[in-house]
Chains A and B, each alone.
Chain A
């Protein structure tokens, strides 16, 4: 079967993502099989015609937004294929357009009847397990495709406990720019120092890696991974589609344990942050720690006034000036933890009464809806502004720093943005030293100021040992941070790696680096 091909009209959804930048393309290819992908890629390769890979288009940096050429959408490669097991545990074999939500639904409902045994009796064994399983990387956007998650090495709140997507990938199968297929699991191919030598069904490749030090001490999605002797699977993870079209992957899954979600309210930003520091010192190890400043809570209040159904949550208490969101396992230690949290929250102006908690599945989903409503509200606000001025886009930071430097970085955020006179709200993965500072742009003038402020902040984050793009990737809108982090030399070395795999630069051109 050949790919369905559609013309890309100017209002086609395939020309944009959550970054709200808009591109252009001629045709949209919708392959239904890997053979379709190979055929489409080969045709583009022989013509040297750009082909941008698109998944569910939930990315934040324009990685799937085409600027010329055609689009290949993986949307019909959306099957969960089977279950396997190896010494690391169970894994799920799937096609790239399966979403995080779909995978977790199947695992929760144990609907395995149509799935293949990748290893002997794996489906039956998983069915007979006493506990449920889940895919633990939670990129907050649950409608994102797992292929997209791999391309971006997605992380999220649960990275504090489970690490990013990279830690859960067992195997990948991808169509390279010349149509050759690579099918590798971890351990199959390692770099010799900083050089990969490997074969596809089409040719032998020698791929040099950048010489920079890839920062693994913080959440980091800036640039391709490069380390001595690294695994080739890691080269594809987080490569933003520059090296191949993913057609299959094996992702490990983890045992699920009952959790209780909690949101504690505090009078102001300082008291919540101080509470977070106390929690970190206590050794309590929540599944994640998320922070909402007063501005974030005000945004939610305003959005709920416009649409009371927006997040299925009760109203945020009137006196709440900040909030901290944490999940804990429901186990024998929970009550002891709550007693300690009671003392720590009271010491910081909160209390066990001034909180929400929920352990039923539907409630926990409401908590995540609440968490997701902050960026969502900002997207909607920016989408509204775009109606007035199409040039305006969202400005959200995605910088991580080591925890020891978070104090310093928080001061830098407020000092810098105040100096530029920019309104902003702060929320996010405080437990990882990774806050999202969303700059609220009111006009084009703000946009210019925000660009300068952002660059200043990125420089500071790098100086403090962090990453300017912790989890959203680089795509098209953050390319300058590659040079900021790795210098001109680093950017040049990424180009060299790209060129070795994709000599005609047909796949996702413009992601991370320009030719």
Chain B
């Protein structure tokens, strides 16, 4: 089996403060492997069998190498860093485009794709879906477990219902749950990771031009941002008579 895990390096939000304008103060804040991506990697490691290969991929600046090193320590077999000045400013579309171009060229014969549900910094949760769409594969959000019985099945939790979905070769799952206390590598894991080369690829290697990647390849522009607070009024409707209650809610929505 060939499993590919897409990961991102993010600022450790547990130690990020905001200034009086609501902007993140990133000074001195360490970068870490996005926790949801670690859940995705953990899941791949859990189902990995003899002879299976886990490849991890990230798009980011050179220092994102440390997030890949973390993945190698935690059990990944090989790591790819997609890094190029032209990748800067990529929105979710340009990111998914870059990742899919890499995948098609370098690991075309893959069995399952793993993503974390969302990154702790951007919080968009869009890249897994766009990547799946570009790859033309099935996408399975909110996956909490992966089981093998008569083929791979993703166990999903949509809060009001839990379901098992059969996966086809090449499908993508987006993982939303994992260990609260992250695993720790052993010294043997650290030594193995230190001896594994992290392969660096730029836009030429993966076959994309400057207008397909980064800011130039993006469909969205952030023109300004501001902190917003949403207050919910939390109105409860008397549920004694369902028809009356429905009418009441309908009136409020209007």
B188 in contact with A353 (CB, 8 Å) = yes
With A109-B28, A111-B27 known as contacts, the answer to whether A262 contacts B187 (CB < 8 A) is: yes
Bound: A163/B43 CA distance, A: 45
Bound: A342/B187 CA distance, A: 9
Please give the distance in Å from B33's CB to the nearest CB on chain A. 9
| Chain B positions 152 through 195: 1 when the CB is less than 8 Å from some CB of chain A, otherwise 0 | 00000000000000000000000000001101111111110010
Contact of B194 among A108, A335, A355 (CB under 8 A): A335
B28 in contact with A353 (CB, 8 Å) = no
A363 interface hit (Cβ, 8 Å): yes
Bound: A361/B30 CA distance, A: 7
A313 in contact with B181 (CB, 8 Å) = yes
A312 interface hit (Cβ, 8 Å): yes
A358 interface hit (Cβ, 8 Å): yes
Bound: A108/B185 CA distance, A: 25
Contact of B186 among A312, A313, A341, A357 (CB under 8 A): A357
Question: Residues of B contacting A359 with CB < 8 Å?
Answer: 190
A357 in contact with B28 (CB, 8 Å) = no
Contact of B28 among A110, A335, A341 (CB under 8 A): A110
B184 in contact with A358 (CB, 8 Å) = yes
B184 in contact with A363 (CB, 8 Å) = yes
Question: Residues of A contacting B30 with CB < 8 Å?
Answer: 360-362
Closest to A304 in B: B181
A379 interface hit (Cβ, 8 Å): no
Closest to A370 in B: B184
Bound: A353/B27 CA distance, A: 36
Question: Residues of B contacting A313 with CB < 8 Å?
Answer: 181, 184
A8 interface hit (Cβ, 8 Å): no
A280 interface hit (Cβ, 8 Å): no
- Greatest chain B CB density within 10 A among A110, A341, A342, A362 is at A362
A207 interface hit (Cβ, 8 Å): no
B12 interface hit (Cβ, 8 Å): yes
Question: Residues of A contacting B27 with CB < 8 Å?
Answer: 109-111
Question: Residues of B contacting A312 with CB < 8 Å?
Answer: 181
B184 in contact with A314 (CB, 8 Å) = yes
Question: Residues of A contacting B184 with CB < 8 Å?
Answer: 313-314, 356-358, 363, 366
A interface, over-half SS: mixed
Question: Residues of A contacting B14 with CB < 8 Å?
Answer: 362
Question: Residues of A contacting B188 with CB < 8 Å?
Answer: 351-353, 355
Please give the distance in Å from A348's CB to the nearest CB on chain B. 15
Contact of A362 among B12, B183, B187, B194 (CB under 8 A): B12
A46 interface hit (Cβ, 8 Å): no
Please give the distance in Å from A269's CB to the nearest CB on chain B. 21
Contact of B191 among A108, A338, A361 (CB under 8 A): A338
Please give the distance in Å from B242's CB to the nearest CB on chain A. 42
| Chain B positions 28 through 66: 1 when the CB is less than 8 Å from some CB of chain A, otherwise 0 | 111010000000000000000000000000000000001
With A335-B194, A360-B70, A362-B32 known as contacts, the answer to whether A341 contacts B187 (CB < 8 A) is: yes
Within A96-126, the residues touching B (CB, 8 Å) are 108-111
B181 in contact with A357 (CB, 8 Å) = no
A131 interface hit (Cβ, 8 Å): no
Q: Considering only CB atoms and an 8 Å cut-off, how many residues of chain B contact the other chain?
A: 21
| Chain A positions 312 through 351: 1 when the CB is less than 8 Å from some CB of chain B, otherwise 0 | 1110000000000000000000010010011000000001
Question: Residues of B contacting A362 with CB < 8 Å?
Answer: 12, 14, 30, 32
| Chain B positions 95 through 116: 1 when the CB is less than 8 Å from some CB of chain A, otherwise 0 | 0000000000000000000000
A354 interface hit (Cβ, 8 Å): yes
A477 interface hit (Cβ, 8 Å): no
Bound: A355/B185 CA distance, A: 8
Question: Residues of B contacting A366 with CB < 8 Å?
Answer: 184
Please give the distance in Å from B167's CB to the nearest CB on chain A. 29
With A108-B28, A111-B28, A360-B32 known as contacts, the answer to whether A335 contacts B185 (CB < 8 A) is: no
B183 in contact with A314 (CB, 8 Å) = yes
Question: Residues of B contacting A352 with CB < 8 Å?
Answer: 186-188, 191
Please give the distance in Å from B163's CB to the nearest CB on chain A. 28
Question: Residues of B contacting A358 with CB < 8 Å?
Answer: 184-185
Bound: A360/B203 CA distance, A: 30
Closest to B31 in A: A360
Please give the distance in Å from B224's CB to the nearest CB on chain A. 26
Closest to A260 in B: B190
A419 interface hit (Cβ, 8 Å): no
Question: Residues of A contacting B187 with CB < 8 Å?
Answer: 262, 264, 338, 341-342, 352-353, 355, 357
Bound: A354/B185 CA distance, A: 10
Bound: A356/B184 CA distance, A: 6
Bound: A109/B30 CA distance, A: 9
Please give the distance in Å from B182's CB to the nearest CB on chain A. 8
With A111-B27, A338-B191 known as contacts, the answer to whether A355 contacts B32 (CB < 8 A) is: no
Contact of B181 among A314, A342, A351 (CB under 8 A): A314
With A312-B181, A338-B191, A362-B12 known as contacts, the answer to whether A356 contacts B28 (CB < 8 A) is: no
A281 interface hit (Cβ, 8 Å): no
A306 interface hit (Cβ, 8 Å): no
Bound: A341/B190 CA distance, A: 14
Question: Residues of A contacting B190 with CB < 8 Å?
Answer: 260, 338, 357, 359
| Chain A positions 53 through 91: 1 when the CB is less than 8 Å from some CB of chain B, otherwise 0 | 000000000000000000000000000000000000000
Bound: A351/B186 CA distance, A: 10
B181 in contact with A353 (CB, 8 Å) = no
Bound: A45/B194 CA distance, A: 63
Bound: A360/B247 CA distance, A: 56
A309 interface hit (Cβ, 8 Å): yes
B186 in contact with A356 (CB, 8 Å) = yes
A-B contact sample (18 more), CB < 8 A, given A314-B184, A360-B30 = A109-B27, A109-B28, A111-B27, A260-B190, A262-B187, A309-B180, A309-B181, A313-B181, A313-B184, A335-B191, A338-B190, A342-B187, A351-B188, A355-B188, A356-B185, A360-B70, A362-B12, A362-B30
Q: Report the 10 A-B pairs with minimum CB-CB distance, sorted nearest first.
A: A109-B28, A352-B188, A356-B184, A352-B187, A355-B187, A353-B188, A355-B186, A361-B30, A357-B187, A312-B181
6 contacts between A and B (CB under 8 A): A342-B187, A352-B186, A356-B185, A357-B185, A357-B189, A366-B184
Interface residues in chain A, defined as those with a beta carbon under 8 Å from any beta carbon in chain B: 108-111, 260, 262, 264, 308-309, 312-314, 335, 338, 341-342, 351-363, 366
